[in-house]
Structure 1
Amino acid sequence: MDHGHDHSGHDHDHGHGGHNHAPEVGANNERVVLAGLVLTFGFMLAELVGGLLSGSLALIADAGHMFTDAAALALAWAGFRFGRRRRDDKRTFGYMRFEILAGLVNAVTLIALVGWIAWEAVQRLLSPEPVHAGPMLVIAVLGLVVNAGVYWLLSRGDTGHLNIRGAMVHVLGDLLGSVAAIVAAVVIWATGWTPVDPILSVLLSALVLRSAWVLLKASLNVLMEGTPGNVVVSELKAELVAKVPGLAGVDHVHVWSITSGQPSTTMEVQLAEGAEAPEVVRAVKRVLLEDFGIAHSTIEVDWGQGDPICVLDPRAGGHDHDHDHDHGKGEGQGAALPNPT
């Protein structure tokens, strides 16, 4: 359908109250992830050497985990870096979805790592190898300190963001790995029982696998344009009809996320007799923003009569539907209605 609106000349801002804090938040996320990357990669090398010298699977597994952490943090950093690029004619949402791809890779690498650790643990249980508890304990304690520092750094970022959450899951797994290595070193030093090393590695892997599965599902949900977790479409429709005067019905609702924390929606609304379309659309947008956190909405008015026209420009003809986009602009032909917030 040809809707006759050309928005190519508009600088659209979907932030709250006319302000867009996304670049500032993205830059902060980028800084904390980069700092975490440097610390993680540096200690990963030290832990790998320590694991090889001490013969500890727990340390080697944790070093392998830290390597995937470094890769995950590098992907997250690249995601934030590319995600701040401006949109163009080919990518109208810019590169924001790159962050979700990075989150998906993080989840897959975690699951693959768990499989490798489980295989190595079985081999160690079948054929025990000597473990030097002293070096293992020193490296494990240092690892605990480094991982705690990286986790604290990441917590300074936007913890609601899928990529930050993914990186924190990786680092939390490393932190628990350091704790497991400390326990294993103490047990081996006190009793000489080396099977504790692979056993604790498997228990740790089970915890990491659960977190990785949650991250994988969240990433796939965004990529499949699934409904965000805080939105139930049937409840959204019912709440709009209940709260918006002059709104008779809501159909053809689609809710998805462009990237983590940026939900969008399109829908078709029916007006009650005598209702004013601009007021109804503004009220719908207000409820979507305040109750569901949806700042980017496209509302189509179903006129239910022969030859509908654009409500914002009564001179226009030949429109099949009226689209009103919440782009923060209230001037000009085909412009959006003013943002009520």
Structure 2
Amino acid sequence: SSSGRRSFESDKIKHGVFTYVLLQGLRGQAPKNSRGEITWLTLASYIIDEVPLQVPLLLDDPDAEQRPNLMGNLIRQPVLARLDVKPPLVKPALLRSPFTATEAGQAQRAWSDYLKIPERTTDKAGISLVLIPPGEFAMGSTQSERERMLRLFPSTKAEDYADETQHQVRITQPFYLSAHEVTVGQFRQFVSETSYRTEAETDGEGGYGWNEAEGKFEGPDVKYNWRNTGFPQDDNHPVVNVSWNDAQKFCQWLSRKEGQTYGLPTEAQWEYSCRGGTTTAWSSGDDPETLAQVGNVADGTAKAKYPSLSTIAAKDGYVFTAPVGRFRGNSFGLFDMHGNVWEWCQDGYDANYYAVSPT
């Protein structure tokens, strides 16, 4: 400071305010030229503008004032700092179905870099989350595909597929989706921390389960709930007998635990994530026998134990539920999107949704 000027020191920054601004400028806050260089003149201009703004803020004194003056100039402009200049990141383009696993991975990395968030992360409850990039896809089924399903699965009816009129849907924002179903162990942690009781445990009706003596699924029955399914499960199996309301309570618990908003995916988000850029009947292809490669479905393994079941011939190795993540993942790195157990979505069911919903 020149004679008669006051120098302000701040305990917050362990420097005088002038020195603090000077150092911040050299660290990259001062304007840079196209070569990433901070010159004498650009640094001086930054200091003259910034010090008067920072003094009252850093000193918590609205009346504090300091105004540096440029007392001279240099004939040449020496370079005081040279920083790496990186071109600004361009917002990634939307994926457009069909796309390959390579393109899906590239989009995940691009959005991860653009938003400075991880492609994959694990939360405090041990749930593995995968970043799903936004994109466009054809949601639902064509008429010819619905007719093909009727031929492949004679026990189904036309009305079973009547609500799947195909239309284009655009997912406009990236989101995180769990890599696989919520496990028994993760749900047990929720119950342990909150003393929550599921609707199957409290509504007087119960849930659904396997009656080994009669060789059939049955319910609702009060003896069945997420703890008792009638078939073997451990903490790595997907939790079942969880209602939509139970799932909402689980998401609310996660939101409080993580300080982030958790929720069920919309049906559009779920189908987009399940398809993973494919346009076939299933993400594994048009042949139902390929389902045994990507999920635990009604298959030859179950039919060998219970011959009356209608199944595909291929064997996935599991009669009932399989531990999560045991099959091949899809283009986004998601597991068990086909088979194992049904998943809840956030939005309610509407038989006319596909025909009238906007893009």
Asked whether the two chains share a fold, i.e. TM above 0.5, the reply is no
Question: Which structure features the higher share of helix residues?
Answer: 1
Query: RCO higher in 1 or 2 (8 Å CA, sep ≥ 6)?
Result: 1
The structure with the larger Rg is 2
Q: Which TM bucket (shorter chain)?
A: under 0.3
